[in-house]
């Protein structure tokens, strides 16, 4: 799997900061969206939409957002960029990140 660039990671961080209202220091690879960053299902939908827009990706409307940590988001975005397809199609691969 491709690694994200520093610019791509910065974009993900910006989306999380804007959508969750958290401080930059709170965003670590280990941070969980729900318990550490205060995300709920509506915020997760907004995160997906923002990531789609920023990276030109598409999550299917009926797909469940399974990325629960920042590291898993990195993995999903990297995989989606590599495939330019559905980042949730291979959730087991993104969990290993």
Summarize pLDDT for 48-71 with one digit per residue, the tens: 999 999 998 887 666 666 778 999
Domain 6-95 classified CATH 1.10.1200.10? Answer: yes
Alpha helical stretches, state H, the chain: 6-20, 41-55, 70-83, 91-95
For residues 5 and 11, what is the distance between their CA atoms, to the nearest angstrom? 10
Helix 41-55, helix 70-83: angle, nearest 10: 40
Structure-model confidence comparison of residues 25 and 85, the more confident one: 25
Task: Write down the pLDDT at residue 83.
Answer: 76
Q: What is the CA radius of gyration of the chain?
A: 12
pTM of the model: 0.79
Residues acting as catalytic residues: 40
């Amino acid at each position: 799997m491709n690694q994200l660039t520093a610019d791509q990671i910065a974009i993900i961080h910006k989306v999380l900061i804007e959508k969750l209202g958290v401080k930059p220091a709170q965003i670590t690879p280990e941070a969980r969206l729900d318990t550490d960053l205060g995300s709920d299902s509506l915020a997760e939908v907004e995160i997906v939409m923002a990531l789609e827009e920023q990276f030109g990706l598409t999550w299917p409307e009926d797909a469940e957002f399974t990325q629960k940590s920042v590291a898993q988001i990195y993995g999903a975005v990297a995989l989606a960029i590599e495939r330019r397809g559905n980042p949730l199609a291979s959730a087991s691969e993104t969990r290993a990140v």
